[in-house]
Amino acid sequence: MQDEILRALVWTDYRLALLFMVFIPLTLMIWALIKKKEAMVRLLIIYWRVASLLAITVFILIAAWPIGFVSSLCAYILIPISLWFWVDLNDEIDDQPQSSLKLAITSWRWAITIYCTLVAIASIPFLRCAFVSGAIKTNFCQVWTEAPLVFREWFLTDRFEPGVWGFLGVVGLIFYVLYLSYFVLIRLGKQGRSAMEQ
């Protein structure tokens, strides 16, 4: 019974993630491009760069590698930070006249911040899947790999073993960490909280 409840909660999380982190921001991006709202487009580009860590996590979890639980938690922490960190973008968006797009962007930013915070807190018990030897093979942890395996079945070729997709995910994670380190250690000191050079 507990396994069924956990499975239902995990699948609900994946569905909400698709809604809040893929479909809504994609719609907002198209809308902002059509309306030529540069600050909003820039904010959404930054969002997509940061949120790519979730796509990397899906590839890692296809292979059921424990590091995927760490990268998932990091993504849920970094995404809301990326949406509110930039002083110039916040000011530009705030200064724009009221419109449906501005309301939609602001509502989405708050909704995704609340969602990511709740998911990050709920993810903490699952860190044992990354750090406790053999925990990844338990039902408690395996339930998180079900949706990535369905994604593989629907959208990726079955010719490659899960380990190949996991390897690609880890390569992506290495590049992600290198770029994030470069940004934090070098670019952030030069540009501060201005997104103009993004």
Give the sign of the dihedral formed by CA 121, CA 122, CA 125, CA 129. negative
Task: Round to whole Å and give the CA distance between 91 and 94.
Answer: 5
Please indicate, yes or no, if residue 196 is contained in any of the structural domains: no
d(CA 195, CA 125) in angstroms, rounded, equals: 34
Q: How many domains does the chain have?
A: 1
Is 192 a residue whose pLDDT tops 80?
A: no
In a domain, 81, yes or no: yes
The pLDDT of residue 198: 45
- pLDDT tens across 146-159, in order? 888 888 877 776 67
Residues 6+ apart with CB under 8 A from 61: 68, 72, 144, 145, 148, 169
Query: 163: which 2 tokens?
Result: 């380990």
**143 assigned to some structural domain:** yes
pLDDT band, very low/low/confident/very high, at 67 (cuts 50, 70, 90): very high
Rounded to 5 degrees, φ, ψ at 48 are -65, -35
Is 179 within the bounds of a domain? yes
Whether 154 is covered by a domain: the verdict is: yes
| Residue 197 placed within a domain | no
Across the range 114-137, mean pLDDT stands at: 92
105 occurs within a structural domain: yes
Instruction: With 0.85 as the threshold, say if the pTM is over it.
Output: yes
Q: Judge whether 67 lies within some domain.
A: yes
At position 144, the amino acid (one-letter code) is W
Give the whole-number percent of the chain exceeding pLDDT 70.
97
Give the structural domain span for 171.
Answer: 2-191
